[in-house]
Amino acid sequence: MTLYQFLFYVFASSAVISAIRVVTVKNPVHAALFLVLTFFTTSLTWILMEAEFLGIVLLLVYVGAVMVLFLFVVMMLDINLAPLREGFVRNLPVGVFVALVMVIELGLIVGSHAFGLANYPAPTAAAAGTSNTLALGSVLYTEYVYPFEIAAFILLVSIVSAIALAHRKREGVLYQNIDQQVKVNRDDRIRMVKMVSSTPVVSETGDGKSNSSGEKRRD
């Protein structure tokens, strides 16, 4: 076994095992972590297949951003597991049926007749110095520029709509307007008051001892 094959089997088997664990493990945080492991090993197999850019982007987007937010939510929610598992036996037949249908459908589309080894001979290795990123970029911005722009636009609309749906104005919330804070002048906050510095009590007896500060009134 070459090193390449060895690495492939290690990554591929751990990807499959962790994918199964995502749905079988009980603790939701553990499930999220197994999903992270699945993404990670998948991206490693992609990198083995010389798709460095896609592999690293998978890592960057899914592991680095999506799953962090996912974990963030899962950790915040104190999920009560018992109600989630209620009706497992009752719903099992439906679940099994749907799963079977999906497996058959997938088999029909991506089965060995369409994607078998006979149809796809091993690709020749890319020449040294081939830039994956450059190749993808030049295709994406020339041949596929319209689909790419449309996808970007749909994403933009979905961002705006997500914010519009989740945004709510609450009354009676105190918050600081930082622009106002920055623009504040000294004169808005401080008022200088002219006052007499001290007014010692002059005693009627006039012996001078009561004037403890030893000052004389200036006025």
Partner 1 sequence: MLNQLLHPVIGWMSPSWQYLVVNTLWVLVILLPLVIAVAYLTYFERKVIGYMQVRIGPNRVGPKGLFQPFADVFKLLFKEIITPNVANKFIFYLAPVLILVASFVAWAVIPFDKGWVLANINAGLLYVLAIGAAGVYGVILAGWASNSKYALLGGMRSAAHKVAYELAMGFALVGVLMAARSLNLSEIVEHQSGNVLTWYWLPLLPMFVVYFISGVAETNRAPFDISEGESEIVAGFHVEYSGITFALFMLAEYASMILISALTALLFLGGWLSPFQGTSLESIFGFVPGIFWFFIKIAILLFLFLWFRATFPRYRYDQIMRLGWKVFIPVTIVWIFVEGVLVYFKVGPWFS
Q: Which residues bind partner 1 (CB under 8 A)?
A: 2-4, 29, 33, 36, 52-53, 56-57, 59-60, 63-65, 68-69, 71-72, 75-76, 131-133, 176, 178
The least CB distance from residue 138 to partner 1, in Å, is 12
Residues 35, 63: Cα–Cα separation, whole Å: 9
Closer residue to partner 1 in complex, CB, 7/19: 7
Give the whole-angstrom CA distance, residue 4 versus residue 49: 10
Put residue 196 in one of left, alpha, beta given phi > 0 → left and psi -120 to 50 → alpha. Answer: beta
Nearer to partner 1, 53 or 148 (CB): 53
Cα 29–Cα 31–Cα 33 angle in degrees, nearest 5: 70
Q: Which is nearer to partner 1, 15 or 36 (CB)?
A: 36
The smaller minimum CB distance to partner 1, of residues 12 and 71, is found at 71
Shortest distance, CB of residue 94 to partner 1, whole angstroms? 33
Please report, for residues 14, 55, 57, 100, the alpha-carbon distance to residue 32 in angstroms, rounded to integers and kept in the order given: 15, 20, 19, 25
Closest approach, Cβ 42 to partner 1, in A, equals 14
